[in-house]
Structure 1
Amino acid sequence: MKKPIVTLLLGAAFLTACAAEPSAPAGEKAAGAGAVAWGKCTDLVGPDGKQLTPGPGVECGTLQVPLDHARPDGDKIGLALIRVKASGDRLGSLVFNFGGPGGSGVDTLAVAATTFGKLGSRYDLVSFDPRGVDRSSGVKCGGEIGKLLSAGADADQDKLAKEFAAACQKDSGKVLPHVGTVNAAKDLDLLRSALGDRQLNYFGFSYGTHLGAVYATHFPKNVGRFVLDGGFDPTVTFEERVLTQATGFDGAFEAFAEDCVAQSCELGADPAAVEKTVEDLLDGLKTKPIKVGDRELTYGLGQLAVITPLYAKQTWPMLEQAVAAARKGNATVLLALADAYTGRRANGTYTTMMTSLAAINCADTTERPTAAQAAAIDEKVRKIFPILSGEASIGACAHWPARGDNAAKRIDATGSGPIVVIGGKGDPATPYQWSTRLTEQLKTGVLVTYEGEGHGAYLSGNECVTTTVESYVLEGKLPAKGTSCPA
């Protein structure tokens, strides 16, 4: 599972050689590309679930794209877009995907635009809800996602996964066969054309690196200045993915415990004691969930709550405070962390973050692990990092109603301009080896290594990473081979 890093960080914070030339306007138009009618944003939502008032220069719009790219004259779906107009001398557009798959680019950019203010001095900052996400024919699955996420430790995960898949087919059967990453990449090229750009300038985080890599594979000549932060290796199997991430999160958990002790920790006198305190709290939830108003922090939600702050070193103190409070019977912050992860709103409804994630992941592979296979994989996860275990996430595709394919696993951007890939040595969700492999698969990739902790490097605030990215995107200065940024 690849979490949208910007959404995660902002939500958690609320709770407490030569490079390609920039895109030229009025460039080559993609076949079937429409136009965007930009206007006032009326439905932006912040990490707290409350309505957002758009800032200056913020516009929203919709781009009509084919539901089935093999039938360009057939049914259409609308891609929801957001644009923050350049504050200075404009070079073109810079399109963002913040990860997931399943994260809303519209809501995220509305909140995060100031974070990318320097880039926004020369580019219109643009993002979108990819097909199958939120406003763009978002995948809906009845109320089953809530049941799946909050299930107790003894729940029949295979039965829940089967009911979830059936609900998705009932509510979103028309879009399910068409939500894969290759289709999203084709949408990106229509967006590039609609924006009037000769080439696509792009910044992808986490899953956004996969989408960017697939785009570069299919449209290498249209690649402008590309940055892929927190690279994902799409060739891995489900088993390889979860075991690698289990190892990554285990390392992040150990680093959190060491840092907590160094900062005078409430949870224990040494790292081993800190880890045991958190694990004991979670184990207790298996038989005795903690009441939070009219809800409960179950074991499954507790797992998500603990994992969420491990994505970024900036949010480690929140994990300490939340666990300390829960040990005294107050699990409010832990439940809020779980809600931030799953996209649960204050009114009890959910964004399509988790349902879209399942739909896109299942569309991008032919793998359909059986209940027995999922259980065997989960047993391996338990031995590495039990906090990440859970057969539901592994077996989500077992009963999926739409066929998947492996087209999104092929990465080869031969013929494109250079693509900057940033890999973090301490990244738990997209471990460093995935960035190295993605760089190799692209053929045109240039790897930048970040020596620090956390998922995604640009948002860590590391000056070296920030300067490297901004020099490339704004000035076309490609990082030297072997560039490494210390923590």
Structure 2
Amino acid sequence: MSIRVRMTVLAVTGLLVAGCTSGGSGAPTAAPTSTPPTTTDAKPPEPSAPAAPPALPAALTGQRPDWKRCPAPESGQRPGSEWRCATVKVPLDHAKPDGATIPVALVRKEATDRSSRVGSLLFNFGGPGASGVDILPRAAEEYGKLGERYDLVGFDPRGVGGSAGVVCRDDAEQAAAEASVDLTPDTAAEEAAYLKDSAAFGAGCARRSGTVLPYTTTSATARDLDLIRQVLGDEKLHYFGMSYGTQLGGTYAHLFPKNVGRLVLDAVVDPTADTAGHARHQTIGFQRALDNYLKSTGQDPKAGTERITRLLRKLDREPLTVGERRLTEGLALTGIAVTLYGQANWSLLTQALEEAERGSGRTLLQLADWYNDRDEKGHYATQSHSQRAISCADSSERPTAAQAKALIPEFRGLSPVFGAFLAWDTAGWCADWPVKGERSTPQASAPGAAPILVVGTTGDPATPYEGAEKMAKELGEGVGVLVTNKGEGHGAYGTSPCVTKKVDAYFLKGTVPAYGTTCG
């Protein structure tokens, strides 16, 4: 599993204590409506051009959601009675709004202070592929103040969970790939196996989810957001996007600048970076976070990095046996990366590394399982399927193995731990993908939009701080308002009291901080 942009909303430590439960979708598993049957053998059709689609018919904009008690999600207990779930229909292809539709799953908790209600506040927790229907009820305590004046609304983006969720392979296929595919191939045979597995993953998506696969772009989801806004009865979209959700928020602002209400983008994806650029940013970001962790434990970053590199080389030669499974180099890398998403998890990294050096891979494997959505029974959720489908529908770039290998010397220089892993990821992620991507970089310029808060954390490993600077600039003068959080971790709201206070004031009172405001 590659290190992709993920938002770890709940503490990793707590999940491990609870037994590493899956973070899978909690949305109803509704099938697409009024759509042709899923492709089984044929290559999926290419999506229509995304520019300037026709107006949506009244049958869609006039929908009224039927809010009902939510079912129990795959990942845990059913949300409390204050939460209600519903679905709305959106066009499969926004260029053909009178054609086939798919459902988008929603969850809502109504504002507690109805007399001062502002409207609906929609959330996207990242991924891409995170289920808002699952996550928001579990994380809602963090947004308690906002829930006084806003209806808190989570949704599964198209291709996720209850919104025609993409499925690409079964549990056995996923387990076999994790056990056998080397994510930093060193030989021609390992390279061939790596690329073959990536192509097989895409082919599986086409067989199982061919109908929706071409239409899982972020721009299509942004258009869904505007339809949801209308269906919920809001004049403007109020939105809180984290991690990949910042890309979705920027895309929405670009497409619908006049409909922007109060938008916050936290842990920001650089809208100017291409595939290699994102990999380069993450190589720098994860090494930066690792260096900060090593310093916090009194270690020299260079010596500590070499210690971890030696461990990974050993695992590449001889994986550690953990029960009936093995901790491979790739799974260990994933486990290490997970802990760098938040400073609260650094003590767990110390424990995991010390165990591995003594010959036990249990904790690192648990960490990797959490990230990879594998529960203790061996069942995998499908966030990684949705994640790849959305990423590859968005990006028109298809780097080759030769191009990935050319990046390795530079990336290893930036990070001996993560460099080769992330260089290879550029080629493996969308290799032989069955659908063409939309463009090389997303569009985020939003002239005329209301001010948008752009929050970047200086120690963020997955979406390095520089991306927030680029997003604020891309949104445009007077639109993107940069707020800097001097700290660690992926996302600032809820961990930085200063950022939390400023975001709350913006959402609740409309108070826009000065550009360049710094917290920490």
Query: TM-score, length-normalised on structure 1?
Result: 0.90
Aligned to 1:352: 382
Report the Cα distance in structure 2 between the residues aligned to 1:210 and 1:442, rounded to whole angstroms: 11
Aligned to 1:231: 268
Report the Cα distance in structure 2 between the residues aligned to 1:30 and 1:215, rounded to whole angstroms: 20
User: Offset of 1:106 from its aligned partner?
Assistant: 1.5
Report the Cα distance in structure 1 between the residues aligned to 2:407 and 2:57, rounded to whole angstroms: 43
Aligned to 2:460: 427
User: Offset of 1:340 from its aligned partner?
Assistant: 1.5
CA 107–123 in structure 1, closer or farther in 2 if over 3 Å, else same = same
User: Offset of 1:256 from its aligned partner?
Assistant: 0.4
SS in 2 for 1:387: coil
Aligned to 2:43: none
- What does residue range 236-255 of structure 1 map to in structure 2 within 5 Å? 236-255=273-292
- The answer on whether the counterparts of 1:142 and 1:167 sit within 8 Å (CA) in structure 2 is yes
User: Offset of 1:145 from its aligned partner?
Assistant: 4.2
SS in 2 for 1:5: coil
CA 86–318 in structure 1, closer or farther in 2 if over 3 Å, else same = same
What's the CA shift string for 1:286-325, capped at 9, x where partnerless? 1221222221111111110001111111111111111222
What's the CA shift string for 1:422-461, capped at 9, x where partnerless? 01111111111111111111111111011111111113x2
Report the Cα distance in structure 1 between the residues aligned to 2:314 and 2:385, rounded to whole angstroms: 28
What's the CA shift string for 1:160-211, capped at 9, x where partnerless? 1122121111111111110000000001011111111111100000110010
Report the Cα distance in structure 2 between the residues aligned to 1:407 and 1:40, rounded to whole angstroms: 41
- The answer on whether the counterparts of 1:231 and 1:422 sit within 8 Å (CA) in structure 2 is yes
Question: Relative to structure 2, which stretch is displaced further, 474-483 or 391-400?
Answer: 391-400
Aligned to 1:472: 506
Amino acid at match of 1:120: G
Percent of pairs with identical residues: 44
Aligned to 2:491: 456
SS in 2 for 1:226: strand
Instruction: Choose from 5, 12, 15 the match for 1:3.
Output: 5
User: Offset of 1:363 from its aligned partner?
Assistant: 1.0
2:118 is equivalent to residue 95 of structure 1: no
Amino acid at match of 1:369: P
- The answer on whether the counterparts of 2:65 and 2:88 sit within 8 Å (CA) in structure 1 is yes
Aligned to 2:447: 414
Aligned to 2:426: 394
SS in 2 for 1:409: coil
Aligned to 1:372: 402
Instruction: Choose from 464, 470, 475 the match for 1:442.
Output: 475
CA 271–303 in structure 1, closer or farther in 2 if over 3 Å, else same = same
SS in 1 for 2:128: coil
Report the Cα distance in structure 2 between the residues aligned to 1:64 and 1:286, rounded to whole angstroms: 47
Instruction: Choose from 144, 154, 158 the match for 1:127.
Output: 154
2:372 is equivalent to residue 342 of structure 1: yes
Q: Which runs of 5+ in 1 are unaligned?
A: 17-28, 262-268
Question: Relative to structure 2, which stretch is displaced further, 136-145 or 429-438?
Answer: 136-145
Q: Which runs of 5+ in 2 are unaligned?
A: 18-55
SS in 1 for 2:399: coil
What's the CA shift string for 1:317-362, capped at 9, x where partnerless? 1111112222233322211111111222333232222121111111
Instruction: Choose from 22, 44, 54 the match for 2:79.
Output: 54
CA 479–222 in structure 1, closer or farther in 2 if over 3 Å, else same = same
CA 287–6 in structure 1, closer or farther in 2 if over 3 Å, else same = closer
Instruction: Choose from 97, 120, 132 the match for 1:105.
Output: 132
User: Offset of 1:271 from its aligned partner?
Assistant: 4.2
- What does residue range 54-453 of structure 1 map to in structure 2 within 5 Å? 54-89=79-114, 90-143=117-170, 144-150=173-179, 151-152=181-182, 154=185, 155=190, 156-261=193-298, 270-388=300-418, 389-390=420-421, 393-395=425-427, 396-406=429-439, 409-443=442-476, 444-453=479-488
Displaced runs of 4+ in structure 1, greater than 6 A? none
SS in 1 for 2:485: strand
CA 174–408 in structure 1, closer or farther in 2 if over 3 Å, else same = farther
Aligned to 1:13: 14
SS in 2 for 1:323: helix
- The answer on whether the counterparts of 2:396 and 2:440 sit within 8 Å (CA) in structure 1 is no
User: Offset of 1:270 from its aligned partner?
Assistant: 4.5
- The answer on whether the counterparts of 1:424 and 1:455 sit within 8 Å (CA) in structure 2 is yes
Amino acid at match of 1:337: L
Amino acid at match of 2:491: G
User: Offset of 1:376 from its aligned partner?
Assistant: 1.8
SS in 2 for 1:458: coil
Aligned to 1:36: 65
Report the Cα distance in structure 1 between the residues aligned to 2:222 and 2:373, rounded to whole angstroms: 24
SS in 1 for 2:481: strand
- The answer on whether the counterparts of 1:30 and 1:193 sit within 8 Å (CA) in structure 2 is no
Amino acid at match of 2:280: L
Report the Cα distance in structure 1 between the residues aligned to 2:124 and 2:94, rounded to whole angstroms: 21
SS in 1 for 2:345: helix
Aligned to 2:23: none
Report the Cα distance in structure 2 between the residues aligned to 1:424 and 1:197, rounded to whole angstroms: 31
Amino acid at match of 2:486: E
Aligned to 1:25: none
The count of residues paired between Structure 1 and Structure 2 equals 461
SS in 1 for 2:306: helix
- The answer on whether the counterparts of 1:6 and 1:108 sit within 8 Å (CA) in structure 2 is no
Amino acid at match of 2:64: A
RMSD: 1.9
Aligned to 2:25: none
CA 270–410 in structure 1, closer or farther in 2 if over 3 Å, else same = closer
